[in-house]
Amino acid sequence: MRSTVNLAVLGLVIERPSYGYELSQRFGRRFGDLFAVGRSHIYAALDSLQRDSLIEPLPRPQPVGRRPRQPRVHYRVTADGARTYREWVAEQLRENTQRSQMLARLAVVGAGQTETIDLLLAGYELAARNGGAATAGDGDGEANGDAAERLVLRLLEEERRVMREAQQKWMAFARRELAAFDDDGS
């Protein structure tokens, strides 16, 4: 399974078993700025995950004394689903470094002039400054969730802060190296 939406839905089911509409709401709050998907995509992901035996339905009985309605099918992760998700996350973490290296190498291909490299650095610097500005308290409602959600948001914000620091240090290093290259011609 390679669908990022499916894997994101799987992660939400791992986080807390639930039903389609509630998962759609959580998906929108958590990933809305990354994926523009409708509720039908969430239900399609649930069907696909169930077909692949990564989640299973948990029918809930209706409370006694209420008018019968269409029951909400709640889903929970299977052992295969949890394993698949862990493997996918580990793979993404490994590939992130490889993607960065590949992009850096592609950016330098044909860029024999230091002016071109300086323009690439300026673009990277601008993207780094503009990226990761969201914080755990940016009004998306997630910060009011349970303790586990708040912990995850704090961890993600710290990761963004550390990444911004690292990017700034790298840009200063790259500029020094570029200046030294211009001075030495080597």
What's the pLDDT tens digit per position in 23-67? 999 888 888 777 788 889 999 999 999 999 999 998 666 666 666
> What's the gap between Cα 98 and its chain centre?
17
Higher pLDDT, 140 or 77: 77
Share of the chain above pLDDT 90, in %: 16
Q: What is the DSSP letter of 55?
A: E
54 neighbors 80 (Cβ within 8 angstroms) = yes
What's the pLDDT tens digit per position in 114-155? 555 565 566 666 665 665 443 333 444 444 456 666 666 677
> What's the gap between Cα 43 and its chain centre?
20
43 neighbors 3 (Cβ within 8 angstroms) = no
Higher pLDDT, 15 or 186: 15
What's the whole-number average pLDDT of the chain? Answer: 74
Enumerate the β-bridge partners of residue 84.
none
Q: What is the predicted pLDDT for the residue at 88?
A: 84
Enumerate the β-bridge partners of residue 55.
77
Backbone φ and ψ of 145, nearest 5°:
-75, -165
Q: How far apart are CA 13 and CA 21, in angstroms?
A: 12
Name the 3-class secondary structure at 3.
coil
Name the 3-class secondary structure at 69.
coil
Name the 3-class secondary structure at 111.
coil
Arithmetic mean of pLDDT, 4-19 = 89
Backbone φ and ψ of 119, nearest 5°:
-65, -40
pTM score of the predicted model: 0.55
Q: What is the predicted pLDDT for the residue at 113?
A: 52
